[in-house]
Each structure stands twice: as structure tokens, then as C-alpha cells.
Chain A
Amino acid sequence: MEQRDTARNEHTQNIRSGLPILKTQYGLNIDEYDYLDIAVDALRDIKHFGTTEYVSYVTVGKDGKVNLPCNIDCIDAVTTEHMGKKAYSTRVEFEVDGIIGTDSYYSFMEIIDNLGYIWSPGLGGFRGKGYISYQLDGKTMTVDTELAGQKIAIAYTGIIVDAEGFPTITRKQANAIAAICARIIMVKGANLGQKGAASMIEYYTGLSGRLKQAASIPEDITDNEMDEALNAQTTFNRKSYNRPTRYSR
């Protein structure tokens, strides 16, 4: 279902669209940067990003380094080209070789990078035939130098972002973020002893929770999706429907 989020045309709003909602619906103001931090954090909980599952076949450099696709949010798997063609043939193919991404994306990896960590799943991350061990360093991936010059498959989840690198969001997500901000403002106000703020926390906690739940599902379900849902099969991981491979979706 997530796979088709991009096709829905729901993710049309800028991440800052919650700011005017906060003002018009609740009469509250918040610092722009505080809002951005809250929004990015909340969106990771809400999920329902405008994601698409991609696969890229990239050539490994002499030093074992691989430039990652510019629209990457998180990696689902790194495999040999052969396995990639077999296992991820239904994914959208994203051409990376010869293209240098200039966009700056605000993805999960960006956040990790931002916080000063180098995320290393370890050389033994995925063991099995066809899987390739890798290490991440910012937006570069390092694999065994034995693979230099060869093509490998990177199966990943891509995300729609704006020019600043923030994810584009839906109308419902903007409403949810505004309510979350309102709740945070009330909590801060109560801590500072502002009159009436404490009594409003409960209201905004309920409201933001409800809107968060609402924002995590699309506005409508197509007949095709309903058909798929009704045909859900019991598989190895029990009744999974289009099983997400990573938590970001």
C-alpha cells in the first residue's frame, strides 16, 4: 500500500504547512526551527511517507566505495546483481551510475549523519547467498574491494522531499504535526506556570494522538488495494500484507 503513496498525489504539502495551521486553528506560535525538529521527529512516528521501493544496480569503485542514490531514505538490502534481478524485479529501477545526485535529502540516514554517528550495521549484517556485507559512511557505502568494477544491487526505500531535503507531507500529517506542536506548547506553558495551559494538555494529547493515527493512513483506499487486502495470505511471517522491510514506512 505504501508503495503507491507517491501515485496518490497526497504528499503535496511542504513540511512547514503545519505552521499556519497552528496559527489559524489554535492561535499559537512556535519557533520555526523548533517546529522542524518536532515535525521530522513526529513524521518518523506517523510514517506514511511518500515512499517508493527502488532498486539500483551500481558499479563498485576501485576502493570498494559506492555512491548511494540521492533519493535514498534507508537501505533494504544490498545483494549481487543476479539476486537483485531475481528478488527485486518488481521495484522501480533507479539509475545511479553516471548520475551524481546534487539534492540533499533529509532522510533517516541524514538524521543519523546529522547526529554525528556513523551507522555501521556491521560486516556481518546480512549473511546468505547473494547478500553483500557493507558499511555506511554518510552517503557512501563501502563493500569488499573484491567486488570492485562489478555491479551490485541496492534495494532501498526512496522518499519524496522538497528542495531543502525535508519530506513532503500530506494534509492530514500537517494537521497532526500542528496538534503535536500545540500539545508541546501547552506542556511548556504548564511547566512555566502559565494560566490554563495545564488544563489544555489533556485535550491536545487526545487530539494529537487521534490525528497522528489518522495521518498514518491514506485518505482513500482503491478497489485494487481492497482486493489485495482481502486476498491477504498467511505467509512465513503470518498474514503479512505487502510486508514493510524497514520501519521507516
Chain B
Amino acid sequence: MTLSQMASAIRNHVVDGLDGISSASFSTEQLKDEILLTASSSLVTLTAQGLIDISKFTQRIDGIKIECKDISSNCDVESDIEVPHFTIPDVNRVANTPITYLGTMDGKLSFKVYFDREYRFHKYRLASSRFPFAWVSSTANADGMHDVFLFNVPKYNNLQFISIDAVFDNPYEIQKTPYYEQFSQAEFYAPLYVQKEIIDKLSQQYINYYRQLHMNPKPNTQQA
């Protein structure tokens, strides 16, 4: 199902479920946002229950252009350290391994990915200290994207493009990247099993909310 079809299905469920009780109207745009919110939480819940493996919900972006940038995000206080850099939408940091692959487009060389400042200790690794690694910034930049800095890449000076497989927090944010042409909006990214969970969960929530909100007032008789 597409995102619009899912929103439509929930709307139909809710309208049918509330038929005769309420004539609430709501926008499908809001429903779409709520589907994405619910999708993220459903995936985490289902993973915790051991029913699915969240790392299988990765999305691939190919040909991300690398440009050099100062490692400091503060323009007033620059570190004078320019490193190869690119940006990605935020990843789902609840997942054990949000980025399953970050490396060359031919898939032959992967980078070790750090999400915190532990990359400082990379140089002390026993066997892989000279291999390249990446640090994903924990906060979004002014464009709402997250900076990724690459280190230990002098050996690969000609590296201009990079490929990434990641579980993104909002899978539709990749449409906002310059690489949007690679992606199709046709199908929702989660499988039917997860789609059904989301539709059921949201329909139930909406019906419950509206029923509670539209409860008919009863006379107060001071009796239980």
C-alpha cells in the first residue's frame, strides 16, 4: 500500500466505526504524519518483542557527494580541521545498528561508523586503526540534516561519492535529499504485516478518542 492508501484505509475504518456516533472530519495529511510516527514506534516495539529485525528496514542512498568542511558546526569558532563530509537525514538511533553500510559505491570498502565522540579512540584499535571511519553528528544542522564526517581517508583521496544503507528515522525524508530521484513513493517502506499493525493501531486509537470525546452527557444523579 502507498502512504495515501494507508491514510485512506484508516479514514474509512474510523468513519465506519463512528457511523451514527460522530461526524468527525479530519485531514488525511495529518493521518499520513501520524502513520509515520506510529510506524517508527511500531517497528521499535515489534523489534523489542523479537518479531522483526529492524536492521532489515534499511534504505539505500547511492552516489552521495563528498565535500570538505570544517568539523566545527559553529561558524565563529572553527577547528581549522577540514575533513570530507556529507549530510544525511537523521537515522533511527533506537536501532542497534542504524547504519548497516557506509562505504564505497562498489560495496568493497566499508567505513566504521561512530555515533559519539568515541571515534577519538579509533586510532588505538588493534587491527583496524588505519581503516577509514565516519562520525555521524548527533544534532541536525541548519538544513535539518545530520553531518557525517569521514576520517582516515587519505589513502582514498579520489573518493568522491559514497553509498549508505541506513534505517532512517523518517523514511520519507530521503525524498528531501538531492538524491530524491532514486526513490519511489509508490510503496510504503514497511511490509504488509507492519502496515496492518499500523492501520489497526491508528484506527483503534482514533475511534477510541472520538468515542470518548463525543460521549453523550448523562444527568448527574449522584449515584454510582
Residues of A within 8 A of B (CB): 29, 31-33, 36-37, 39-41, 106, 111, 114-116, 166
Complex: A29 Cα to B101 Cα, angstroms: 13
Partner of B126, one of A31, A32, A41, A116: A41
A31-B97, A31-B112 given; A111·B127 CB < 8 A: yes
Residues B112 and A40 in contact, CB atoms below 8 Å apart: no
B interface residues, Cβ below 8 angstroms from A: 55, 97, 110, 112, 123-131, 133
CB within 8 Å for A114 and B130 given contacts A29-B55, A31-B97, A33-B125: yes
Report B121 CB to chain A, min CB distance, Å.
Answer: 11
Closest to A15 in B: B127
A115 vs B131: C-alpha distance when bound (angstroms): 14
Contacts of A39 in B (CB 8 A): 127
B residues near A31, Cβ cutoff 8 Å? 97, 112
**B55 contacts A114, CB within 8 Å?**
no
Closest to A106 in B: B127
Shortest beta-carbon distance from B46 to chain A in Å: 15
With A and B bound together, what is the CA distance between A40 and B130 in angstroms?
14
**Which residue of chain A lies nearest to B112 when distances are taken between CB atoms in the complex?**
A33
| Contact, CB under 8 Å: B124 / A115 | yes
Q: Which residues of B contact A114 (CB under 8 A)?
A: 126-127, 129-130
Pick the contact of B125 from A29, A37, A166 — CB < 8 Å? A37
Bound CA span A39–B125, Å: 12
Q: How far is the CA of A40 from the CA of B128 in the complex (A)?
A: 10
Q: Which residue of B lies closest to A110 (CB)?
A: B127
| A40 to B127 alpha-carbon distance, docked (Å) | 6
Q: Within the complex, what minimum Cβ distance (angstroms) separates B136 from chain A? A: 14
A-side contacts of B123, CB under 8 Å: 116
Q: Give the Cβ gap from B126 to chain A, nearest Cβ, in Å.
A: 5
Residue among A39, A41, A114 having the largest count of chain B Cβ atoms under 10 Å: A114
Q: How far, in whole Å, are A60 and B188 apart by their CA atoms in the complex? A: 69
Q: Which residue of A lies closest to B101 (CB)?
A: A32
Q: Quick check: B124 and A36 within 8 Å, CB to CB? A: no
Can you name the residue of chain A whose Cβ is closest to the Cβ of B122? A33
Q: Which residue of B lies closest to A166 (CB)?
A: B127
Known: A32-B110, A33-B131. A40 touches B126 (CB 8 A): yes
Chain B positions within 8 Å of A37 at CB level: 125-128
- 14 residue pairs bridging A and B, Cβ less than 8 Å apart: A31-B97, A32-B112, A33-B112, A33-B131, A33-B133, A36-B127, A36-B131, A37-B126, A37-B127, A39-B127, A40-B127, A41-B126, A111-B126, A114-B129
Return A117 CB to nearest CB of chain B, in Å: 11
In the bound complex, residues from chain B placing their C-beta under 8 Å from that of A41 are 126-127
Compute how far the CA of A116 lies from the CA of B125 in the bound complex, rounded to whole angstroms: 11
A225 → chain B closest CB, angstroms = 31
Give A3 Cβ to nearest chain B Cβ, in Å.
26
Please name the residue on chain A nearest to B130 by beta carbon: A114
Q: What is the distance, in angstroms, from A189's C-beta to the closest C-beta of chain B?
A: 10
CA distance A157 to B13 in the complex (A): 74
Q: Complex formed: what's the CA distance from A32 to B113 in Å?
A: 11
Q: Complex: how many Å from CA A32 to CA B133?
A: 12
Q: What 6 A-B pairs are tightest by C-beta distance, nearest first?
A: A40-B127, A33-B128, A33-B112, A36-B127, A37-B126, A36-B128
Docked CA distance A123–B107 (Å): 48
CA distance A114 to B152 in the complex (A): 14
